[in-house]
Structure 1
């Protein structure tokens, strides 16, 4: 059973915006960030590429060739050939951002490229948001979720 949250309406409005930027959802641990994102994406996208940097640390190599979208997609595809990237109908979820904050630097590339929607989530515990904030100013949207 899914528990409806305030973020649900926010995510719908974000999706409706044709000029939407990559989204970073931050908040305390265990408040439903991932559950809310998964519920939203399952309802609104036919193709979801989800990466959890805690459960799947092998994905911390996806920036080895740089921050260009093509390089990141190539590296994700090399790790898992079942992941598909459909232009205009793929959302890429980078979960547990605090484990790999460098991915935030790539948000500028995703924003400029525009082929895929990107949602990141991370716990306020152990993440250097100052670094992330300065990396992508003007190329991302921040949302802070509360319990």
Structure 2
């Protein structure tokens, strides 16, 4: 298992983390490019806790977004569901494979508007997001980054 891998997107994640105008981050990319790995590594290096929900693996978690989308309700539900304390200053909320839960995509708008001090990152694959034509996408309410497959320069850096 790879313990440390240098990716150029790490600098962009740091910039997002330090931005005073930070919005929830949507990390896009093709399947198997390392989106989950990079967010887990980022979370481990910048936060005391990571409250991760994987909507692909845990279909029951989708029910957290079935009802009320107020951020107070969602933050409490995420904390109870994951068993991780959710605090603005020390917790990364990680919504993995968010394309599997269209209402969670919609909820990103409310995290932006009502809870901007929380750090929220969602990963999405290109194939998955296009399946949901009726999703209310939060235009202007999310920051977006794209993770591409490992570049040749990144390969050379990591190969030493």
> Normalising to structure 2: TM-score of the pair?
0.82
* CA deviations over 1:8-60 (Å, ceiling 9, x no partner): 11101111102101000111111111111111110001121111001111110
Structure 1 unaligned residues grouped into runs of 5+ = none
> Structure 1 residues 5, 131: CA separation in 2 closer, same or farther (over 3 Å shift)?
farther
- Which of 14, 18, 21 aligns to 1:19? It is 21
> Structure 1 residues 123, 139: CA separation in 2 closer, same or farther (over 3 Å shift)?
same
- Which of 132, 138, 141 aligns to 2:140? It is 138
Larger C-alpha radius of gyration, 1 or 2?
2
1:84 matched to 2:81? The reply is no
- Partner of residue 109, structure 1: 110
Taking the aligned partners of 1:98 and 1:65, their CA distance within structure 2 comes to 18
Counterpart contact for 2:92–2:121, Cα < 8 Å: yes
- Partner of residue 7, structure 1: 9
1:51 matched to 2:87? The reply is no
Taking the aligned partners of 1:13 and 1:27, their CA distance within structure 2 comes to 19
Structure 2 unaligned residues grouped into runs of 5+ = 150-160
> Normalising to structure 1: TM-score of the pair?
0.89
Aligned residue for 1:93, secondary structure, equals strand
* CA deviations over 1:68-109 (Å, ceiling 9, x no partner): 1111123334434x2211132221000011211321111111
Taking the aligned partners of 1:41 and 1:78, their CA distance within structure 2 comes to 19
Counterpart contact for 2:51–2:79, Cα < 8 Å: no
Counterpart contact for 2:66–2:103, Cα < 8 Å: no
